[in-house]
A = this chain, B = another copy of it.
């Protein structure tokens, strides 16, 4: 009995990672119901029985992936106060959210799929965390508006605007690629899109950068 702590089986870790990656992709593509364990197993190059041996059940696997995604997002803008510079904070928000769309597109799509399904697994439990996140930021935005640092826009709509615009580059990449006849979105696309969003949204909210480089 006993020491199942520090080194923690490299075999399990390796296989779980392969399963998680494959599952995230399949769940994102086909939703919870449309994803089959067989498809996940094939994508991971592992027999179906072995997948179930590691993850227990489809439901547990799905919830694990959802929680992993929520965790990544809650790390964003973890500390913001009304004394920070609005331009810097908004720009950091937009750029870090875009970076998530670029580096973890499957996570973003998995979340989108869950929401489209009516959020049956998130519903109350995890929306609470997001609600706190949103409320604390809206307070800061309101404070900035009172100090005249930005226009008095609805802070909730502003957060959803940034959320949707950045999310779009992960969730709807297929559409963007299809319409613009690219092969895929590359780093330069994400850079120019981030620049565009920062410019338009900051200006649209009446937020001025401290250092106006062009003037």
User: Which residues of A pack against B, CB within 8 Å?
Assistant: 28-35, 109, 112-113, 115-119, 122-124, 127, 130-131, 134, 151, 153-154, 156-158, 160-161, 163-165, 167-168, 171-172, 174-176, 178-181, 192-193, 196-197, 199-206
A116-B171 contact given A154-B192, A178-B123, CB 8 Å threshold: yes
CA distance A31 to B112 in the complex (A): 12
Q: Which 4 residue pairs of A and B lie closest in terms of their CB atoms, listed nearest first? A: A204-B204, A34-B34, A33-B34, A164-B168
In the bound complex, residues from chain B placing their C-beta under 8 Å from that of A157 are 192-193, 196-197
A31-B34 contact given A112-B116, A127-B178, CB 8 Å threshold: yes
A117-B153 contact given A127-B178, A165-B165, A200-B161, CB 8 Å threshold: no
Contact in complex: A130, B179 (CB < 8 Å): yes
CA distance A33 to B154 in the complex (A): 39
A154-B196 contact given A115-B175, A160-B168, A164-B168, CB 8 Å threshold: yes
Option from B30, B119, B122 in Cβ contact (under 8 Å) with A117: B30
In the bound complex, residues from chain B placing their C-beta under 8 Å from that of A117 are 29-30
CA distance A113 to B127 in the complex (A): 22
Contact in complex: B178, A119 (CB < 8 Å): yes
CA distance A179 to B115 in the complex (A): 12
Name A130's closest neighbour in chain B (CB-CB): B179
Option from B112, B154, B181, B201 in Cβ contact (under 8 Å) with A131: B181
Q: Give the Cβ gap from A194 to chain B, nearest Cβ, in Å.
A: 10
In the bound complex, residues from chain B placing their C-beta under 8 Å from that of A29 are 31, 116-118
